[in-house]
Chains A and B, each alone.
Chain A
Amino acid sequence: MAVTVPVTAQTAVARTGRHPPSPWGRLPLKAKVGAVLLGIFVMAAIVGPYLAPYNPSYQSPSVSLSMHAPDGAHWLGTTQSGQDVFSQLFTGIRLTLELAVVVGVVAGVLSVLVGISAAFLGGAWDESLSLVSNVFLVVPQLPLLIVLLGYLPQKGQAATILVLSALSWPWGARLIRAQTLAVRGRDFVAAARESGQSTLRIIAFEIVPNEVGLIAANFVNTVLYAIGASVALAFLGLADLSSWSLGTMLYWAESQQALQLGAWWWFLPPGLAVALIGVSLVLLNSGIDELGNPRLRNAVDTKRFVGRKVRLTDPTPVLLQGLNGRQGAEA
């Protein structure tokens, strides 16, 4: 007994020595790295077009500036027609992120509306709304997107946003419906109902605040999806090809033979930018996931406890140490 007390006292001292962890401090490392990485790209999207040293569409007439490898004047080299890749990249990040965020917001609102109404209306409404979501989920998205955009005579930013938003809400709606059904049965909702609050008020002040985490995770996922889909569609030429986004950059690089000509500085930056934005979002999301599910949390913390390898299936380490201490005291 006497040995266990110092152990707890020690931890208590260690605890009181520090301030209680801030929300940022409680985030897993993954989420922090993701947030910082994403922050860099968001900054680039905001100030990027002002940082771009040249007009991204300006075609330099000088022959020596065609397919020029990176140097001091052109940090990421030039394209075949002498356009500055660095300027294109920093203009393109904005357009791609802008599109993805708008799609994320529109689809997010749609999923919340559909998910919550399905859960609250119940009966035939629930059945039909769930059926529509499930049909949308099972129909492969890219072919449908290609067909829809293929028929549109003008393939601008607005058309892509419209089509992507219309197709990306069902997954979120399904998650939010399930969560709403679970939250609806809780005591505090019953209490709010008993106190005479209207259904709309209950939804706005009791249900939605309890789903903020899910809605945020869903938003991150939709943004990730929208970036991937919009870049793929633009790469296929199903976008406004006179504007600069990461997808149209890749389209021009591929169609003007950047690969065959060995111009890696032309096609690598936009692709890597897409991949890094994607990685930051995946990190952010799996970090949020770990916050909710302790078993996924970085297993390194639990792996070594007081120099002893501990498996997840073993008894809780704290208890174990207490037992060891007692044994030591008795001996």
Chain B
Amino acid sequence: MTVSLLASVGRGTRRLTRAKSQSRFLARRLLFYVVAAWAALTLNFLIPRAMPGSEVQDIMSKFPNLQPSAYKALEAMLGVGHAGSIWHQYGTYLVDVFHFNFGTDVMEYPAKVSTLLAESIPWTLILVGTATVIAFVIGTSLGIMAGWNPGGWFDRFLPGLMFFQAIPYFFLALILIYLFGIEIPLFPQSQGYAEGLVPGWNLSFIGSAVYHSLLPAFTIVLTSMAGWLLQMRNVMITTAGEDYVLAAQAKGLSRQRVILTYAARNAILPQLQGFGLALGFVVSGAIVMEIVFSYPGVGLLLFNAVTSHDFPLMQAVFLLITFAVLLANLIVDLVIVVVDPRAQAQERA
């Protein structure tokens, strides 16, 4: 009785310290993301001020018959005049960002930048999000199989996979458009939905949107899957050689149980930790992919902003993408804390 009581007390304190170290780990990570977000905000503030040229000058040069006196008026209209000390500007900038006030768009004046963002976010979120999860699941599953049986039939495809890993996203997109959009016109070449349709929650629009997203999604899956697969395979090979896997086999556990709950369960941890960092690459690839397909998402918005020198929009899209990636990293950290008790002990940063 006393012994079991003592044991339960011991277990209780252990659980308590575990919760404590978990929260300490999470607090450290949270602090890191706050610092990273602040760095991105500040960078975004400094870049336009450090670079020559301004959007007002841009408009002035586009319309040569504007009087020089129009300069101040344009600045005031677009809310871009850098008035006051740099610290004052910085303060106003931070307040604006926290109120999602990114100013007025230059090219589609007088549309608000935040409205343009809100229109393009769902496209990217649904397409890139779904495609990334599919690629991660397929790549990891195939990696488990390839890693459990190295030298098997699967390894014959390895050179091909490396090719997909090395090929630029947009070039694969170009080839897919050429093959399945032009030579064999199975899929639409570009845009997010058929011309003439009005976006809304009706069947013909959703059907058209899904149809238009197939080729872009396939591009993301094909290129990002190879990376997950190769990493999982390599970690899996190492894990399969561990003593505890051998012990599980010796106990006579079923093959499936040994592979999934002994080897793969441990091999997947580096994969999860890599997920956060790889996300930056996936987002970058998705941006270029959207541009190639003229897909109406955030990436295309960024590209249009750059080509038309629409600086307020460009800054807002950059902040949006960065914050989304930081948030995704934070979520991955939360998952890691749940699945990997060692994560609290070691600093992952």
Contacts and interface: CB of A to CB of B under 8 A. Distances in A.
Interface of A: 130-131, 134-135, 137-144, 146-153, 224, 228, 231-232, 235-238, 250, 254, 259-260, 262, 264, 267-268, 271, 274-275, 277-279, 281-283, 286, 293, 295-296, 298-300, 302-303, 312-313
A147 B322 CA distance: 12
B287 A142 contact: yes
A48 to B, nearest CB: 20
Contacts of A300: 151, 155
B271 interface: no
Given A139-B280, A295-B237, A313-B246, 19 more contacts: A138-B277, A139-B322, A140-B279, A142-B288, A143-B284, A146-B303, A146-B306, A224-B166, A236-B288, A250-B171, A250-B174, A254-B174, A259-B178, A260-B189, A271-B175, A279-B163, A282-B162, A312-B237, A312-B241
Q: Is the interface of B mostly helix, strand, loop or mixed?
A: helix
A151 B53 contact: yes
A231 B171 CA distance: 10
Contacts of B234: 296
Interface stretch (B17-25, B208-216, B310-318): B310-318
B288 A152 contact: no
A150 B315 CA distance: 10
B287 A143 contact: yes
Contacts of B287: 142-143, 146
> Which of B175, B189, B309, B325 counts the most A-chain CB atoms under 10 A from its CB?
B175
B321 A140 contact: yes
**Considering residues A150, A231, A274, A281, which has the most beta carbons from chain B within 10 angstroms of its beta carbon?**
A150
Of all A-B residue pairs in the complex, the 4 with the closest CB atoms, nearest first, are A278-B166, A299-B151, A142-B284, A299-B150
A262 B182 contact: yes
A286 B166 CA distance: 13
A260 B182 contact: yes
Contacts of B162: 279, 282-283, 286
A236 B36 contact: no
Interface of B: 32-33, 35-36, 39-40, 43-44, 47-48, 51-53, 150-151, 155, 159, 162-163, 165-171, 174-175, 177-178, 182-183, 189, 234, 237-238, 240-241, 245-246, 249, 276-277, 279-281, 283-284, 287-288, 291-292, 302-303, 305-307, 309, 311, 314-315, 317-318, 321-322, 325-326, 329, 349
Contact of A138 (B163, B166, B280): B280
B167 A278 contact: yes
B189 to A, nearest CB: 8
Contacts of A139: 36, 39-40, 43, 280, 322, 325
A313 B240 contact: yes
A236 B309 CA distance: 14
A281 B43 CA distance: 32
Nearest to A301: B151
Contact of A130 (B238, B240, B325, B349): B349
Contact of B321 (A143, A232, A279, A312): A143
B177 to A, nearest CB: 6
Nearest to A260: B182
Contacts of B170: 232, 235, 250
A138 B326 contact: yes
22 contacts: A131-B32, A134-B36, A138-B329, A140-B279, A141-B281, A142-B287, A143-B283, A143-B287, A143-B317, A143-B322, A144-B322, A146-B303, A147-B314, A150-B311, A231-B168, A232-B170, A235-B288, A260-B189, A267-B178, A278-B168, A293-B238, A299-B237
Nearest to A263: B178
Contacts of A137: 277, 280
B318 A147 contact: yes
B280 A140 contact: yes
Contacts of A131: 32, 35, 349
A155 to B, nearest CB: 11
Contact of A274 (B171, B178, B189): B171
A138 B36 contact: yes
Nearest to B169: A232
A238 B303 CA distance: 10
B325 A295 contact: no
Contacts of A236: 288, 291, 303, 306
Contacts of B245: 313
Contact of B171 (A149, A271, A296): A271
Most buried by B among A131, A134, A138: A138
Contact of A143 (B171, B302, B309): B302
A134 B349 CA distance: 7
B240 A312 contact: yes
B178 to A, nearest CB: 5
Contacts of B39: 135, 139
